[in-house]
Amino acid sequence: MIPLSTNAHNAKLSILLPNTNKALFDALKQASPEQLSQLKEGKDIKSVLASLFHAKIDHTKSDTLLLDLLKNSAVFKNIGNFTQDLKSLLTTLKSDPALTPKIEKIEQFLQPIATVDTPTFKEKINNSGVFMESKIAALLEKADFDESLHHDLKAQLLSLSEEIKDSPKIQEQIDQLTTQIDYQQLLSHLTNSTSLYLPFEWDQLKQGSLSIKKAKDNKSYCEINLTLKEYGEMSLMMGLYDENQLEMHIQTEKKDLKSLIQAHLGKLRELLVEAGITLRSIRIYDANEKIIPKTNVYTSDEANYASGFEERV
């Protein structure tokens, strides 16, 4: 974990590389093959991440090996609901009147998903904590260093951890949250994409993640994986090209959700048109139907879409 005091940004920031999270970079070069072979046997998320951060390996082998470990280690299968963990931290802070001044800094990062618009969505991604280190690198020479990091969640969590050292429960809750951010940072680095937890409050959500990637062919891809309380698992893969042409693939665990999506396709198209986006095609799959392999999520090979419900516009 990266220590941070927003008032002391010299020696503690020597871990940075330009435009890169140094913790992620170190994960590629600091693990031995022996340590890597033990990572899947890690008993908890923190121990696995610690091994990733502090191990040593040949850089040419690291990307594939570390990505496999990160995605397949059993401890990451249920990494938790970030929003619920954040709400739990707030509940703990509210139980002590002396900690009231700390609450506002954390509450700013909770917002219901129903109230989200495009500018808010961009802001939530930018302030999710995943980009904290690169922000610091860009701000080192600026006078508004403290104010700029006031709106970054990871920076606020690490600052809170330094301020409240006498509460093991709070430290444990902060550690859980920053570990989840560390995981998304590693995943982002290893997949050359932006990967993060779903940064909104949503009562229906048990677990969710979002990944965005810009491809060489000027296409943009977005993968969303959700575990919903009522409807189970749901995966969405979207490809945007020619600036406003969208293709969408959806896979649902429960047929009820598949039917619900089909019933509201008209409304979906209306909302996309309002946003200036043309929905060129949408395919909806059951959980047992073939779709893009998880290990090759950004492929555009149409052979992977031979089955499923399809609507072309």
Mapped onto helix, strand or coil, the DSSP state of residue 227 is strand
Q: What is the pLDDT of residue 308?
A: 35
Strand 232-241 and strand 245-252: pairing? antiparallel
What are the tens digits of pLDDT across the range 206-260? 889 999 998 877 899 999 999 999 999 999 999 999 989 999 999 999 999 999 9
Query: Which residue ranges make up each domain of the chain?
Result: 1-192, 215-312
CATH 3.30.750 fits 215-312, yes or no: yes
pTM of the model: 0.74
Rg (CA), the chain: 21
What are the tens digits of pLDDT across the range 36-93? 455 445 556 666 665 555 543 444 445 676 777 677 766 677 777 899 999 999 999 9
CA dihedral over 115, 181, 252, 292, signed as positive or negative: positive
CB atoms within 10 A of CB 121: 14
Q: What is the DSSP string of 125-181?
A: HHTSSTTHHHHHHHHTT-TTHHHHHTT-HHHHHHHHHHH--S-HHHHHHHHHHHHHH
The answer to whether the CB of 227 falls within 8 A of the CB of 197 is: no
Mapped onto helix, strand or coil, the DSSP state of residue 311 is strand
What are the tens digits of pLDDT across the range 160-206? 998 888 899 999 999 889 888 988 888 887 788 899 998 889 989 98
Burial 46-59 (b: 16+ CB within 10 A, else e): bebbbbbbebebee
Rounded Cα–Cα distance for residues 218 and 47 (Å): 38
